[in-house]
Amino acid sequence: MFSNSRVLAALALIAASTVPLAAQQPRIFNTVKTKLAAGQSVVGGTVSIPDPDTYCAMANSGFDFLWIEMQHSPMSYQDVAHMIMACKGAPAMPFVRVPDATEGDIQKAMDMGAIGIILPMVDDVQKVHNAIKFAFYPPRGKRSLGGGYHGAVWGPDYRAIANDNLTIVAMIESPAGVKIAADIANIPGVDVVFIASTDLASFSGMKQGDPGYEKLVDEAKAAILKAGKKVAGPLAWKSSRAGQGYTFFQGPGETSLIRTGAKVELTGSALSEQKKGVAPTEGAEKH
């Protein structure tokens, strides 16, 4: 028979051996990542106004993430850093559409607390590889340590868990991007591939609904799903393309939501200015 001391020693050894396993499990705070992994869809509101109060209103309004627009807005990184910090702990995850996949753009976006990087105008795979290299810490990438708000936003263990929480979104906006959709989607580190309705129409010379346009969309979507990645598009497609595999959506911006809210208050109903199921043309909004 085993003595009590031997039994206790064996139990202690078993307990000690399980601690490192538990400690290896990363803390996942990116709720967009967990929702997508669970098969849920996510919607993000678009932010283009450099105002912390407006940002916080958007971040607490029910969106899963905020699409912080730094490609087509005059917002500075300092503006966005203050906005993210002002609303630390809000339910909506901060995703930044960077101007380009340069080391400076990616590094600054990550350091100010972005947990999602949206890459515009992807028509070659090198842009995606560059973004992954600069967004991930070693050994996966070459992101450098430095200052910033990321630790204050996400916690003192940020360095150890940042790689596990990052979401990379690559945007296909042209026929050239459609041609390499499979290559883009199969890159390790890419989580979501976004089919950009407006620019795909602009670069192809076709309107949404045209057979040629829809063929491009279907070709890209099929390649993305085959690679096991998430397909994204404008919020208008959430209903019109329901059941087609789309799970990540870009919603309207602040000015559009203010107009809609005003119409509801004044008339009791929201009057849509867009054809149902057709994504609005970016840049054509009234201000």
Residue 287's pLDDT band (boundaries 50, 70, 90)? low
Q: What is the pLDDT of residue 269?
A: 76
pLDDT above 90 as % of the chain: 81
Taking residues 50-79, what's their average pLDDT?
Answer: 96
- Assess whether pLDDT exceeds 70 at residue 209: yes
- Assess whether pLDDT exceeds 90 at residue 237: yes
Q: Are strands 65-69 and 246-253 parallel, antiparallel or unpaired?
A: unpaired
Residue type, 34: T
List, in sequence order, every residue forming a beta bridge with 44; answer none if it has no partner. Answer: 65, 250
Taking residues 258-273, what's their average pLDDT?
Answer: 81
Q: What is the pLDDT of residue 4?
A: 54
Decide which of 65 and 22 is more confident: 65
Decide which of 273 and 262 is more confident: 262
Residue 79's pLDDT band (boundaries 50, 70, 90)? very high
- Assess whether pLDDT exceeds 70 at residue 33: yes
Identify the CATH number of the domain defined by range 26-253.
Answer: 3.20.20.60
Q: Where are the domains of the chain?
A: 26-253
Q: What is the pLDDT of residue 2?
A: 44
